[in-house]
Amino acid sequence: MKILMVIIDGLSDRSLNGTTPLKSANTPNMDFIAKIGINGIMDTINPGIRPGSDTAHLSILGYDPFKFYTGRGPIEACGAGIEVKPGDIAFRVNFGTVKGEGSVFDKIVVDRRAGRIQDKDELIKAINSEVSLDGIEFILGNASGHRAALVFRGKDLSDKITDSDPKREGERVKRVRALDESAEFTARMANEFIEKSHEILDSHPFNLEREKAGLPKANVLLLRGVGKALHIPSFEERYGMRLAVIAGTTLIKGVGRLVKADVIEDDRFTGSKNTDLHLKVKKALEMLETHDFVLLHIKATDEFGHDGDFDGKRKFIEKVDSAIKPFLELDFSEVCFVMLSDHTTPVTARDHTADPVPVVIVFNEVRRDDVKAFNEFESYKGGLCRINGRDLMNILLDLIGKAKKFGA
Ligand code: ZN
Ligand code: ZN
């Protein structure tokens, strides 16, 4: 018995003139799945709690985010391929551009993305080899675009510190501050790291070349989203199932690595609008041969939501619909198929909201309901009614006969 889960990020919407991108899209395959499955809506975390994609995915995988989520830093660091250990402190990092005289903390951030620099390998290598901190180790890892991830490893580290990223251009780099006494050492290390890495970056030949070419120097690392890594039981320990995650987004790959899944990467999985959906579907089918649980993540629906692009979202949903057609050929006596969203990203709100998401489960023995379309206006009429994200894994394990009995 295997499980295939398709998570379409930010798929659902609020009503706009009585409809949504999902409702107005032509989705014969999704609707067929709704017809042969059991449908419902789901509060990924809790009613009224607006989920991030990271907390949402943890919850869907049965990891209570109130217990296991300690900030975006550790997840981004896992996503960047750093082997994060319990006790590590991890940050999200932007390569930015500063100008001015004196210490890095006297300089002004003129570009928070260093001209959206892509090629950062040389700079990251230089920092990892030339910067050293007295008393702790650090690892700087590469992420997409202007982003990176940073891990501090050592004794007595604390995540009770502030960001160095001023979040706005035209302001000075912020000195990292300790929020309590126990974090003073960590704050000092962070400031030392920011200063030393700035010195290396500012005079690095790669940046001098960029300057000559009229491009902004990537000469500062802006730190935010700090979190302390916890011990998290692996998916296999927890469920006795081997998990494969197919995703292009660093954050989702990070969630996968956090629970020790096999994360399937490919340059053609861009985590964006130009991703290769057909290849992702093909990979998911392949992974079903070798894994017990396959999670296929599709990102761009959320991007269209953030962009407020109703038509773009509708059209992309139609592309997803045609790409998932091969899943209809699955043998549902052997594979339990689940399709859902991680949260709602309405084109009107342009951000995540807590509105429950549609969810459908297809499995031979499932009690089919009368729902005939997969959308916000139909799913709630189905047999699953309204569930909580943290219960979904239990529901699936029970369906496929892997749940333990409670009581005699
Ligand atoms: Zn999301
Ligand atoms: Zn989003």
Residue 201 — φ and ψ, nearest 5°? -65, -40
Q: CA-CA distances (angstroms) from residue 35 to 167, 208, 362, 372, 379? A: 47, 60, 9, 5, 10
Confidence band for 270, pLDDT divided at 50, 70 and 90? confident
Once rounded to an integer, what is the mean pLDDT over residues 251-262? 95
Q: Which positions ≥6 away from 272 have C-beta within 8 Å?
A: 248, 299, 300, 303
Both tokens of 86, joined, read 């319990």
Q: Three-state DSSP class for 233?
A: coil
Once rounded to an integer, what is the mean pLDDT over residues 314-330? 98
Alpha carbon 205 to chain centroid, angstroms: 34
Both tokens of 99, joined, read 């100008």
Using the mean position of ligand 2's atoms as its centre, give its distance from the Cα of residue 345 in Å. Answer: 7
Q: Are 105 and 175 in contact (CB under 8 A)?
A: yes
Q: What is the pLDDT of residue 272?
A: 86
Q: Which of 238-247, 271-280, 291-300, 314-323 has the lowest mean pLDDT?
A: 271-280
Using the mean position of ligand 2's atoms as its centre, give its distance from the Cα of residue 301 in Å. Answer: 9
Domains of the chain (ranges; CATH) run 2-69+232-399 (3.40.720.10), 78-228 (no CATH)
Using the mean position of ligand 1's atoms as its centre, give its distance from the Cα of residue 298 in Å. Answer: 9
Residues surrounding ion ligand 1 at CB below 5 Å = 9, 53, 302, 342
Residues surrounding ion ligand 2 at CB below 5 Å = 302
Using the mean position of ligand 2's atoms as its centre, give its distance from the Cα of residue 314 in Å. Answer: 16
The per-residue DSSP string of 260-274 comes to TPEEE--TT--SSTT
Q: Which of 70-74, 136-140, 210-214, 306-310 has the lowest mean pLDDT?
A: 70-74
Confidence band for 197, pLDDT divided at 50, 70 and 90? very high
Once rounded to an integer, what is the mean pLDDT over residues 34-60? 98
Using the mean position of ligand 2's atoms as its centre, give its distance from the Cα of residue 57 in Å. Answer: 12
Residue 144 scores a pLDDT above 90: no
Residue 213's CB is within 10 A of a number of other CB atoms, namely 7
Residue 181's CB is within 10 A of a number of other CB atoms, namely 9
Residue 145 scores a pLDDT above 90: no
Residue 209 scores a pLDDT above 90: yes
Report the C-alpha gap between 14 and 160 in whole angstroms: 36
Q: Which positions ≥6 away from 363 have C-beta within 8 Å?
A: 37, 332, 336, 337, 399, 400
Percent of the chain with pLDDT over 70: 100
Using the mean position of ligand 2's atoms as its centre, give its distance from the Cα of residue 212 in Å. Answer: 36
Q: Which of 5-9, 191-195, 220-224, 250-254 has the lowest mean pLDDT?
A: 250-254
Query: Hey, what amino acid is at 45?
Result: I
Once rounded to an integer, what is the mean pLDDT over residues 171-192? 97
Using the mean position of ligand 2's atoms as its centre, give its distance from the Cα of residue 206 in Å. Answer: 33
Rg (CA), the chain: 23
Q: Which ligand is nearest to the CA of 342?
A: 1
Q: Residues 326-364: pLDDT tens digits?
A: 999 999 999 999 999 999 999 999 999 999 999 999 999
